């Protein structure tokens, strides 16, 4: 009579091996799922070269959000014109813009083809709206109210004045500043991302160092005055974000 029920089988070794097999399969699965966005990659140097890598792309999956259109990923490859060229002949040379990088969406000014619908709350209403549409909202008395303040560009020139603020309803905060452009700059209203604005309370000014005064004329506009779509947000953020590096040539040069 013996108490040996597994014979010569090393049960610990089997469990250890199964664990590592499971872990390897999990890593491969997660790596494949990570390719739902941004793949396949396109080579801008050789026509027809599509990079998929290993493992291959996952099968298409359709997501049905509570609001808006269904989204299927991975997406098909979109053809677009890259308005930039290699800085040198060597493979891997950095690209330099061939036109206005802020308008063309090159480098830090790039934007994606997001939906032409606003970001919505759980109740299906636009998430980011101008304060004029929310009578119960107001700027706290302890904070400076930017409405009426002049907007000063990076070159010290006045480009317009603040007419309203756009707020995030679920996250009570200012997201954009609405600016009426001076006639010397352009016409109409534009939005400035609030995190690119420095509120100078003592001077009663909003300082925006991302852009030069002339560049405010080409800030992406909204299709409708009281709503902003996801794509319009991306373009707006790209324009001001790109200005931080590309508004003038000196910004893209080394500091030392």
Structure confidence by residue, pLDDT tens digits, 200-253: 989 999 999 999 999 999 999 999 999 999 999 999 999 999 998 888 888 877
C-alpha distance from residue 59 to each of 22, 56, 66, 217 (Å):
21, 9, 23, 44
pTM: 0.79
For domain 128-252, the CATH class is: alpha beta
Q: What is the mean pLDDT of residues 152-170?
A: 95
Among candidates 205, 197, 203, which has minimal Cα distance to 244?
A: 197
Residue span(s) of the chain under CATH 3.90.50.10 come to 128-252
Domain with CATH 4.10.540.10 in the chain: 1-79
Q: What is the residue-wise DSSP string for 156-224?
A: S-EEEEEEEEEEETTTTEEEEEEEEE-TTT-SSEEEEEGGG-EEETTTTEEE-TTS-GGGGGGSPPPSB
pLDDT value at 47 more than 70: no
Superfamily name with CATH number, domain 1-79? Photosynthetic reaction centre, H subunit, N-terminal domain (4.10.540.10)
Pairing mode of beta strands 173-181, 198-200: unpaired
- C-alpha to C-alpha distance for 148 and 198, rounded to whole angstroms: 15
Q: With contact defined as beta carbons under 8 Å apart, do 246 and 112 qualify? A: no
């Amino acid at each position: 009579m013996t108490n040996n029920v597994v014979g010569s089988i090393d049960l610990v070794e089997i469990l250890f091996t199964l664990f590592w097999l499971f872990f390897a399969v999990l890593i491969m699965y997660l790596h494949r799922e990570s390719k739902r966005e941004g793949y396949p990659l396109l080579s801008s140097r050789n026509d027809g070269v599509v990079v998929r890598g290993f493992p291959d792309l996952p099968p298409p999956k359709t997501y049905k959000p509570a609001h808006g259109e269904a989204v299927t990923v991975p997406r098909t490859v979109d053809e677009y014109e890259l308005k930039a060229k290699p800085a040198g002949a060597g493979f891997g040379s950095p690209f330099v813009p061939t036109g206005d990088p802020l308008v063309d969406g090159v480098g830090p000014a790039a934007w994606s083809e997001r939906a032409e619908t606003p970001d919505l709350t759980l109740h299906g209403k636009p998430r980011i709206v101008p304060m004029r549409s929310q009578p119960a909202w107001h700027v706290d008395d302890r904070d400076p109210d930017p409405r009426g303040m002049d907007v000063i560009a990076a070159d010290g020139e006045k480009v317009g004045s603040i007419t309203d603020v756009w707020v995030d309803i679920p996250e009570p905060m200012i997201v954009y500043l609405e600016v009426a452009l001076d006639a010397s700059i352009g016409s109409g209203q534009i939005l400035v991302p609030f995190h690119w604005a420095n509120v100078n309370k003592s001077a009663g000014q909003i300082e925006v160092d991302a852009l030069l005064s002339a560049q405010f004329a080409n800030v992406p506009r909204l299709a409708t005055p009281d709503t902003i779509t996801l794509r319009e947000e991306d373009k707006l953020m790209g324009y001001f974000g790109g200005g931080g590096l590309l508004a003038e040539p000196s910004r893209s040069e080394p500091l030392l």
